[in-house]
Amino acid sequence: MTSPFIPEHEIYGLLSGVGIKTPRYCFIDDASKFADAPFASGEPVVVKGIARDLWHKSEHGALAFCDFDVDAVSAMHGSMSVRVGARFDWLGTLIAEKVEVQSARNAPSEIFVSLQRDRCCGAIISFGFGGLLTEDWARELKQSLLVWPASVYTPEEAFEELSEHWLGRILLGEARQQTALVDGKKLLDFLKRLWELDEVMAREQLGLLEMNPLVIDRAGDIVAIDGVGLRSEEAHVELCPVPLQDDSILNPSRIALAGVSAKAGSVGGLILENLRQSSLPEHGLVVVKPGIDNFAGIRCVPDVAALADDPVDVLILALPADRCVQMIEGLCAEGGGAEVVYIVAGGIGDGADKSGFGERLSELIESRRQSGQWCPAIVGPNGLGMLLSPLKLNSLFIPQRKLNVQFSPDSDVALISQSGAFLITRMSRHSNLSLKYGFSIGNQLDMKLSDFMALMARDKSVRVLGVYVEGFVGADVCAVAKLVEEFRAENRHVILYKGGRSQLGQSAAASHTGAMTGDYHVQKRLLLKAGAVLAESFNQFNAVLKWMAAYPDLHTLGKLAIVTNAGYETVGSVDTLGDNESESLYELSKDNRTVLREVLQRHDMQGLVAASNPLDLTPMADEVVYLDCVKTMIEFGAGVVMVGLVPLSEQLDTQQLTQAEVFADKLKSLARSSGCLIGIVIDAGVPYQRYKAVFERQGFPVFDGMDMCVLGINVLKKSR
């Protein structure tokens, strides 16, 4: 098999083709040709031994500096060919001019560039400090490497980021005690050449190009003085969505279930119990069970062959792995019967699959799709179920007594989760979280995250989409990013938590520097640039989802005001803001403080409360004081107000709830009329659940602590 390795002299040719400067050079594979080399006697040159799969020449005695002399260089060729050829497939000798380099004063100024091409996303361009210490810089300086997915970044956007980066500032002479090595126009032009190189890579089926180092010559040009690469056997492709009709899964009229039994607590029995509560018509539910005509009053059919003449939209398989695969094979043999198959079981294509069921099923799906034969869309395996509020449909195998599902057909929030447990625990812990749709998508053997996101993208009523994913199938992250862009273009929001952030395999050897960028780092850049709100913890996800579910039409975030009756919340809120304090917190002007003092004086609180933000009203404040102060902060110009209500204060109505209801209603009217985001913090235990519910019923995001309330705003601030 031919090595995919691309040696340096071939890299030079590719770079020159897009206008990236290289040294003057010649490649010689025959010792008799050294006399024809285009160098004058005594001219400083660099002599390099070139061999297949030789990434680091200096480590193998394949690099030398000298003044050009035919005999001397010929001798080096001979010794290198023997030394290097003992370990590598020898190709020849590269002679290149020794470039006169400009260097920064007391600062690194060599450049590293890698283009690693994904067959769906295009090139991932990495740009950072180069030279022998490239990997050390990347290891010690976590932000030393800039990463630009070419499909979502432009050269101009990359230049803007680079201009703020330490390396960019050194090159442009904007770092302390530095003079410019290159001007901005040349640096931007170089970046444009990298984007052109991405097109070359696609055309030539190249997987990796790496230049290390690039230097600045005396003319102020960026010159690549070393480079290697890898070819790829994979041509660029666009991922195809799984073919299915939206109504088949979002608005099914008939559902079949296989795997029910009379055994108490069985998975199939629990699913059936939940399905029976839906608004499907009487004939809309079918049980696949041989030997009986009905089960618990539901009509039965003996097998999937019976579904071919009487098809359903969704077939749920609550069966062991082997029987699931057999049933899907039976459906395919019949050529129809169910548009969507939902596999509940695990043990198919995962760590528990010791019998090759996943491979068997994948091959079946691929062969039928490629040959144009009918094949159902398959969800799972390892899918917990789905919620469709418009139909009051719940296919989870969680009993209602454990999870009291509240259907919300008018909700504008949906949640897609690879983990079924994540889906149901979000619903359990957020008692006022109303979902129009909820999907547990399992292991994505067929239907991918992007397929479900596309369903939500087409339903324009979904304004906020929460996503939990542990792994992107293939290059599905690119399709996901495009859908995120579609959401953001319509001022709709995608909140995403990526679990399992381990570094996946790279296309090149682990030892080479193009593999320094972990997959999650690239995915994060791709998704953030597309406009996703990325949560780095479950707490962040929970907090952001609460805010967004309450305010789905959010465009921009204004400055924060915090009004509370507890001193620790004023301190804790500022601590949580951290470095964002100055840019996030609304700063009261002298006139603002005067007005606020007058408000406090009207309520006989002068001398007790300092006119500040955060505002500590002390336990002496009742609902009237709170309302007046919140209104005042909004009139000042605060765009977000966090209201901390420690309910143990005697001044607050936490028992009868009459005043609490009035207060919550007036706050809601204030939020509507002003466009201000109001969040409620009630840091107290079980006895105050009814008090919390007063504000939840008004649609406010209600938090158990001020830190969680602020945390959500912090994440949203960073994403805007």
Secondary structure (DSSP) of 293-308: SEETTEEEESSTHHHH
Does pLDDT of 323 surpass 90? yes
Among positive and negative, which fits the CA dihedral 150, 151, 155, 160?
negative
Domains, the chain, with CATH or none: 24-98 (3.30.1490), 102-231 (3.30.470.20), 254-362 (3.40.50.720), 383-503+515-552 (3.40.50.261), 556-719 (3.40.50.261)
Measured between alpha carbons, how far is residue 382 from residues 349, 466, 471, 482 in Å? Answer: 10, 20, 14, 26
Mean pLDDT along residues 310-315: 96
pLDDT band per the 50, 70, 90 thresholds, residue 508: very low
| Residue scoring higher pLDDT (514 or 202) | 202
Pair of tokens at residue 331: 């459906």
Q: State residue 226 phi and psi, 5-degree precision.
A: -160, 150
206: helix, coil or strand? strand
User: What amino acid occupies position 163?
Assistant: S
- In 3D, which of 116, 138, 133, 134 has the Cα closest to residue 125? 116
Pair of tokens at residue 497: 């938590």
Report the Cα–Cα distance between both ends of the chain, in Å, rounded. 49
Q: Which residues pair with 496 in a beta bridge?
A: 467, 534
- In 3D, which of 614, 630, 710, 625 has the Cα closest to residue 670? 630
Measure the CA–CA gap between 115 and 125, rounded to whole angstroms.
5
The b-or-e profile of 218-244 (16+ CB within 10 A means b, else e) is eeebbbbbbbbbbebeeeeeebeebeb
Most distant CA atoms of the chain, gap in Å: 101
Mean pLDDT along residues 483-502: 91
Does pLDDT of 137 surpass 60? no
* Tens of pLDDT, residues 444-492: 999 999 999 999 999 999 999 999 999 888 778 889 999 999 999 999 9
Indicate the range of 403-407, 473-477, 496-500, 659-663 predicted with least confidence: 473-477
Does pLDDT of 579 surpass 80? no
67: helix, coil or strand? strand
Query: What confidence score (pLDDT) does residue 506 get?
Result: 35
* Tens of pLDDT, residues 139-150: 555 556 898 988
Cα 73-79-80 angle, rounded to 5 deg:
85
* Tens of pLDDT, residues 597-612: 999 999 999 889 999 9
Measure the CA–CA gap between 256 and 303, rounded to whole angstroms.
11
| Residue scoring higher pLDDT (118 or 502) | 118
pLDDT band per the 50, 70, 90 thresholds, residue 234: low
Indicate the range of 285-299, 375-389, 565-579, 699-713 predicted with least confidence: 565-579
Pair of tokens at residue 708: 């969680």
* Tens of pLDDT, residues 87-121: 999 999 999 999 999 998 888 899 999 999 876 67
Query: What confidence score (pLDDT) does residue 717 get?
Result: 86
Measure the CA–CA gap between 652 and 694, rounded to whole angstroms.
13
Query: Tokens 């629990």 appear where?
Result: 270
Element (H, E) at 458: helix 449-458
> For residue 225, how far is the Cα from the chain centroid?
35
Query: What confidence score (pLDDT) does residue 515 get?
Result: 38
Query: Tokens 């992250």 appear where?
Result: 477
User: What amino acid occupies position 157?
Assistant: E
Mean pLDDT along residues 163-170: 93
Q: How many CB atoms lie within 10 A of CB 69?
A: 16
Mean pLDDT along residues 339-346: 94
424 near 384, Cβ under 8 Å? yes
Sheet of 615-616, strand order? 615-616, 560-564, 640-644, 677-681, 702-703
Q: How many residues does the chain have?
A: 720
The torsion region of residue 382 among left (phi > 0), alpha (psi -120 to 50) and beta comes to left
Measure the CA–CA gap between 432 and 702, rounded to whole angstroms.
9
Element (H, E) at 14: helix 8-17
Q: How many CB atoms lie within 10 A of CB 589?
A: 11
557: helix, coil or strand? coil
Does pLDDT of 385 surpass 60? yes
316 near 256, Cβ under 8 Å? yes
Q: How many CB atoms lie within 10 A of CB 194?
A: 22
Indicate the range of 496-505, 647-656, 697-706 predicted with least confidence: 496-505
* Tens of pLDDT, residues 38-97: 999 999 999 999 999 999 898 999 999 999 999 999 999 999 999 999 999 999 999 999
User: What amino acid occupies position 561?
Assistant: A
Query: What confidence score (pLDDT) does residue 504 get?
Result: 38
Element (H, E) at 149: strand 146-149
Pair of tokens at residue 343: 């596999």
* Tens of pLDDT, residues 241-296: 888 888 899 999 999 999 999 888 899 999 999 999 999 987 899 999 999 999 98
338 near 314, Cβ under 8 Å? yes
Measure the CA–CA gap between 720 and 533, rounded to whole angstroms.
9
What letter does residue 585 receive in the DSSP assignment? Answer: B
Element (H, E) at 494: strand 493-498
573: helix, coil or strand? helix
Element (H, E) at 641: strand 640-644
Query: What confidence score (pLDDT) does residue 699 get?
Result: 94
Measure the CA–CA gap between 258 and 302, rounded to whole angstroms.
10
Give the chain's mean pLDDT: 91
User: 619: cis peptide before it, omega within 30°?
Assistant: no
Query: What confidence score (pLDDT) does residue 509 get?
Result: 26
Does pLDDT of 582 surpass 90? no
Query: What confidence score (pLDDT) does residue 679 get?
Result: 97
DSSP E strands, 309-383 = 312-317, 338-343, 377-379
